[in-house]
Copies of this chain bind each other. A is one copy, B any other.
C-alpha cells in the first residue's frame, strides 16, 4: 500500500501523539526513499493520477456533493461554497495541472555550481529535495492534488491537512493519487492525508521538527500567524500584499490608466492587486480625473489626500491607516507625491514588500525604482497582477513567499529544494 493506511489503521487508536509521530516517521522514511526515485517514476505517477482523476470523476463529484451539501447546512458563504465545489471542468483543470507538472524539468540533481579546486578536490553543489513538507490548507479541494504533485515532483514527501469542509472531496482525491502511487512505484507513505477531525493534530505535528523540514500554511493570515507561533520548524510564509502603482511624471498616461485599472479591478481579493495609487504632482491634474472616472465607474471607492479630494468628487479622506491597509476589495487609496524619492519613501514606509509598480518612460527613473524598492517583485510599465508563478514562468507554484530568506515571491519546484555539497578527492587530507 502506497499511502498512509488511515482507513484500515484507525488514526487515534493509540492517541494523538503516537499517531502524529507515526505520520512523521513514515514521511521521513518515504523522503529518504524519494531521493532515489528517478524522474520517470515521478512523471509516470503524475500522468497516471491525471488519467485516474478523469476516470473516477463520478465518485469524486459524489463525495464533493456531500461536502457541498454539508457546507450549505453549516451556513458557508456562497463564496466559500464556490471554492469548495468541484465540477467536470475543474477536475479537468486539476488533471491538466498534473500533466503540466509532469512536463516541467525535475529540479533534483541540478548542478548549481562547483569546479576543481587548486588541490584537485572536485566540488559539486547539487540541488536536492528538502525532505518532508507539511501542507496545511483551507477549503479548496484542488489544493490537495496541486500540493501533492509539486511536492513529489520536487522529491519531497508530504503531509496534507485540508479543511474539514472539504474532507470527503480531499479523501476521494487522495485515494486516486494513492492508487496511481501504488501502480507507479512511488515509496509508501510519500503522500499522507491527515484525516482525523481532532484539531489538535496540527499543533502536535508542528512540534515534530526532527520529522518535518518545512510547513506551508495556505489560507488566511490568522492561520499563518498561528502556524508561525507554534511551529518548531521553518514556515513558508505567504502573507498579503499592500501593493502600489506609482505614476511617474514621465509616464505615458494612457498606459498608466490601463495599468491602474487592471491592477485594482481585474481581480480584487488577491495579494497582487493594487491597494494604493501614487501620482507625481506634475501629471496629477491631467491623470487623476480620468483615472477616478474609470475606477469609480467600476464601483471602486477612492480615498485620497486633501489635494485629491479637492479635484475629484466623491473621494473619502484617507487616514494614515489607509496607506497601510490591504483592502482586498473595491477601495483604492490615492496620494500625490512631489518626487520619485517621495514615492519610494512612501512605499518603503507603508508597503508590504510584495509587489510595486512604476509607470514611466524614463529609464533612469525605472532603474532607480527597481533598485530602491525592496519588494519581491518590481513591475515596470506592467500590472502588479503579473506577480504570479505562472506569469513569471515558474510553471507551477505552491504560494508566494513574503519572506526574504530561502524563497522570495512565487514558490515553485526549485523553492521546495535545498542543496548539498558533494566533495570528491583521492585521499585528500587537510594540512592547515
Contact = CB atoms under 8 A, between A and B. Distances in A.
Do most interface residues of chain A lie in helix, strand or loop, or is the interface mixed?
Answer: mixed
B376 A421 contact: yes
Interface stretch (A10-18, A171-179, A183-191, A404-412): A404-412
Contacts of A377: 420-423
A409 B35 CA distance: 19
B372 A121 contact: no
Interface in A259-295: 259, 261-263, 266
A81 to B, nearest CB: 22
Interface of A: 32, 35-36, 115, 117, 121, 123, 128, 130-131, 213-214, 234, 252, 254-255, 258-259, 261-263, 266, 348, 366, 370-372, 374-383, 385-387, 391-393, 403-406, 408-409, 418-431
Contacts of A418: 404-405, 408
Contacts of A427: 252, 254-255, 258-259, 381-382
Contacts of A375: 420
A247 to B, nearest CB: 12
A302 to B, nearest CB: 20
Contacts of A422: 370, 377-378, 380
29 contacts: A36-B372, A117-B391, A117-B393, A130-B404, A234-B403, A255-B427, A259-B429, A263-B429, A366-B424, A375-B420, A377-B423, A378-B421, A379-B423, A380-B422, A380-B423, A381-B428, A382-B423, A382-B425, A382-B426, A382-B427, A382-B428, A383-B429, A383-B430, A386-B428, A391-B430, A392-B421, A392-B423, A405-B406, A408-B419
Given A252-B427, A405-B406, 4 more contacts: A380-B424, A381-B428, A408-B419, A409-B421
Nearest to A385: B430
B372 A428 contact: no
A405 B374 contact: no
Contacts of A371: 35-36
Nearest to A357: B423
Given A117-B391, A419-B408, A386 B348 contact: no
A234 B255 CA distance: 40
Nearest to A418: B404
Nearest to A425: B382
A404 B259 contact: no
Contacts of A431: 266
B430 A262 contact: yes
B348 A32 contact: yes
B405 A130 contact: yes
A385 B425 contact: no
Listed residue (A115, A130, A393) with the most chain B CB atoms within 10 angstroms of its CB = A393
Contacts of A370: 420, 422
Given A32-B348, A32-B372, A381 B429 contact: no
B262 A429 contact: yes
A109 to B, nearest CB: 9
A35 to B, nearest CB: 6
Listed residue (A370, A371, A391, A427) with the most chain B CB atoms within 10 angstroms of its CB = A427
B385 A429 contact: yes
B404 A213 contact: yes
A232 to B, nearest CB: 10
What 10 A-B pairs are tightest by C-beta distance, nearest first? A382-B425, A262-B429, A255-B427, A382-B428, A385-B430, A406-B406, A405-B406, A377-B421, A380-B424, A404-B418
